[in-house]
Amino acid sequence: MLAFGTIKTTVLSFKVLKLPSSKIEGSRQLKCKASKMELTITQPDDWHLHLRDGELLQAVAPHSASFFGRAIVMPNLKPPITSTAAAVAYRESILKALPADSDFSPLMTLYLTDTTSPREIKLARESGVVFAVKLYPAGATTNSQDGVTDLFGKCLPVLEEMAEQNMPLLVHGEVTDPNVDVFDREKVFIDTILQPLIQRLPQLKVVMEHITTMEAVRFVESCSYGSVAATVTPQHLLLNRNAIFQGGLQPHNYCLPVLKREIHRQAIVSAVTSGNKKFFLGTDSAPHEKRRKECPCGCAGIYNAPVAISLYTKVFEEAGALDKLEAFTSFNGPDFYGLPRNTSKIKLTRTPWKVPESFSFSFGDIVPMSAGETLEWQPSSI
């Protein structure tokens, strides 16, 4: 067993796959790679996932359940999941939407509001099904209109109870002040909200979700291990803001937080592929019907669940860091949450496959990230 899983190669031709052998640790170093390679890793988890509800939930849940063992499920439904009772009911709906043979486990969250009570946090912890509380600044993203308007003025007792209960706070890290440029909202959030929060409640566990800037990387790196971490999406590792406009407006590359400059993308890639344990997988897969993306006021969100593992593997391979992939996808997240690592495995095979242009359902189509593109890595269950 290698330090990061198991790599096998199948000799199909004399073509050599270039991968730095110095990056591979363990008892069996591979010095020559053939045109087909297999990588076995511990089953990943998704620490930031939107499953929606109703027909959309029925459509997308099987995609995430195919290769992820667990997922932190976002609570921004209509109405939002603001109570433990609602989280329990939503969890049952998710379980009913899964294939009969699925072992996928949804980890529920509460939607923080100005009126959330400390007692609700106690109930959430006692439930055994709620694992975090999500902070949406009011108006920051999809279905965030019921979010927090004054974190320190209205939510401090709740945050103190969360610290007491060891309940993580998951933050959508953007300010909503219309006077702040959309590309600067993450940085301003760190300076005006997150840094003061960590100083005031250093014992509170915080996950800065879907980070998009070098400032976020530096902030997370500066914090103590075990207190602050970050999830990272495939889109923010692979795309910069040019992807929204190339060849015309590209609505399926529009998400919040919005894609940033190339220098920010590079900073995130460097952090993730460095092996730093504070960063872990969180797809922020956010499905919308095609007609709601391709319209005069299109929805924010990228549906990446069917391709996420393939895309993360691409990032690590291009960085010469396949030895660090398994920790990012499968270890760092559960370690931060204090949960056991998965014991099952999945296999990644370096064999080209084409992403569907869309997925069709009775209610309409959903366009995935990388639609129509050919990806090099394909996951499969073992």
Q: What is the pLDDT of residues 248-259, one digit of tens each?
A: 999 999 999 999
pLDDT tens track for 173-202: 999 999 999 999 999 999 999 999 999 999
> Looking at the predicted structure, is the pLDDT value of residue 114 above 50?
yes
> Looking at the predicted structure, is the pLDDT value of residue 130 above 90?
yes
Q: Which of 45, 46, 146, 284 is catalytic?
A: 284
CB 197 within 8 A of CB 187: no
- In the chain, the percentage of residues whose pLDDT exceeds 70 is 91
> Looking at the predicted structure, is the pLDDT value of residue 135 above 50?
yes
Stretch 234-243: mean pLDDT: 98
> Looking at the predicted structure, is the pLDDT value of residue 57 above 70?
yes
Amino acid at the residue 75? P
- Residue 14, pLDDT score: 28
Q: Which of 33, 63, 134, 260 is catalytic?
A: 134
CA distance 187 to 209: 13
pTM for the structure as a whole: 0.91
Which token pair is 180? 């702040």
CA angle 277, 283, 285 (to 5 degrees): 165
Beta-bridge mates of residue 169: 133, 206
Stretch 330-346: mean pLDDT: 98
SS3 category, 165: helix
Does residue 284 have an active-site annotation? yes
Stretch 358-381: mean pLDDT: 98
Stretch 66-76: mean pLDDT: 98
- Residue 140, pLDDT score: 76
CA distance 102 to 67: 10
Does residue 257 have a cis bond before it (omega within 30 degrees)?
yes
Whole-angstrom CA distances from 42 to 3, 176, 262, 307, 338 are 11, 38, 31, 18, 17
344 Cβ contact partners less than 8 Å away, ≥ 6 residues apart? 42, 43, 69, 103, 382
pLDDT tens track for 87-101: 999 999 999 999 999
- Residue 6, pLDDT score: 58
pLDDT tens track for 256-271: 999 999 999 999 999 9
Stretch 304-316: mean pLDDT: 98
Q: Which of 33, 50, 278, 293 is catalytic?
A: 50
- In the chain, the percentage of residues whose pLDDT exceeds 90 is 88
Amino acid at the residue 344? S
* pLDDT band per the 50, 70, 90 thresholds, residue 225: very high
CA distance 223 to 209: 15
CA distance 197 to 295: 38
Tell me the pLDDT of the chain averaged across its residues.
92
> Looking at the predicted structure, is the pLDDT value of residue 236 above 80?
yes
Does residue 134 have an active-site annotation? yes
Q: Which of 33, 63, 187, 210 is catalytic?
A: 210
* pLDDT band per the 50, 70, 90 thresholds, residue 141: confident
Does residue 50 have an active-site annotation? yes
- Residue 35, pLDDT score: 58
